[in-house]
């Protein structure tokens, strides 16, 4: 019988404790002593198939991670009380001084699929539709400009537009703009097809995503 769920996680923890942790112990002890100082923050999706640390084979301390449905950054606003993504980015930029923020989109995103075809989920979800609604304008643009495209093509376009919306929203935070203007922070828009796994980056001059490697 295959091991699943929590039992699989505990087995993995024991392998980590007795294997990779032992190899990384000097680095981890140094990170504990001097604190974390990652150069890169990644805004990624909560999707279980997209783990940036695995995708980029990162070491402990390399990446400051912000994960949510559809890898979205909301615009700067101070209404309400709970701003998890904004708080994480504030800590990354002001507290840790990261030099790069990567917004990592991906193919086959469930949050984007819900935005494009919400009917089956209307009665089940309350928070997700409101969250992905910040992509409504991008979705309308895709529908208007790609009316004859396949659903797969339109979905990919929306997934990539989600990256662009998040990049645009990042610049609404004054402490992000200030550091970009000072040359201390760079923004990157990346997109990975989890089935291949081809990685593309948004080319600011060409205005499209091009393969990185």
Please report the pLDDT score of residue 3 as a whole number.
75
Query: Per residue in 192-209, pLDDT tens?
Result: 999 999 999 999 999 999
- Largest separation between any pair of C-alpha atoms in the chain: 57
| Percent of residues, the chain, with pLDDT higher than 70 | 96
Query: Per residue in 106-124, pLDDT tens?
Result: 999 999 998 887 665 566 8
Strand order, beta sheet including 40-45: 63-68, 40-45, 100-106, 186-192, 199-203, 208-211
Residue 98, pLDDT > 90, answer yes
Residue 8, pLDDT > 90, answer yes
Q: 36-211 — its CATH code?
A: 3.40.1050.10
Please report the pLDDT score of residue 125 as a whole number.
87
* pLDDT (mean) for 162-172: 97
Grade residue 1 by pLDDT with cuts at 50, 70 and 90. low
Contacts made by residues 135-142, CB under 8 angstroms, sequence distance 24+: 135/70, 135/72, 135/161, 135/162, 135/165, 137/165, 138/162, 138/164, 138/165, 139/115
| Domain limits, the chain | 1-35, 36-211
Mean pLDDT of the chain: 93
Looking at per-residue confidence, does 81 or 136 come out higher?
Answer: 136
Looking at per-residue confidence, does 116 or 191 come out higher?
Answer: 191
């Amino acid at each position: 019988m295959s091991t699943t769920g929590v039992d699989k996680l505990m087995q993995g923890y024991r392998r980590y404790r007795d294997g990779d942790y032992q190899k990384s112990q000097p680095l981890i002890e140094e990170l504990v002593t001097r604190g974390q100082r990652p150069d890169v923050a990644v805004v990624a999706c909560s999707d279980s198939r997209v783990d940036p640390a695995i995708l980029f084979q990162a070491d402990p301390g390399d990446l400051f991670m912000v994960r949510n449905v559809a890898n979205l950054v909301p615009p700067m606003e101070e209404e309400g009380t709970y701003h998890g993504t904004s708080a994480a980015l504030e800590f990354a930029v002001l507290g840790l001084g990261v030099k790069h923020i990567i917004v990592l989109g991906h193919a086959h995103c469930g949050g984007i699929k819900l935005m494009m075809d919400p009917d089956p989920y209307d009665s089940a979800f309350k928070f997700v539709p409101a969250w992905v609604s910040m992509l409504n304008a991008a979705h309308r643009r895709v529908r208007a400009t790609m009316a004859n495209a396949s659903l797969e093509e339109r979905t990919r376009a929306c997934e990539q537009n989600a990256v662009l919306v998040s990049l645009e929203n990042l610049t609404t935070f004054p402490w992000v703009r200030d550091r970009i203007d000072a040359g201390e922070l760079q923004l990157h828009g990346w997109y990975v097809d989890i089935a291949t796994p081809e990685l593309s980056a948004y080319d600011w001059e060409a205005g499209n995503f091009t393969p990185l490697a």
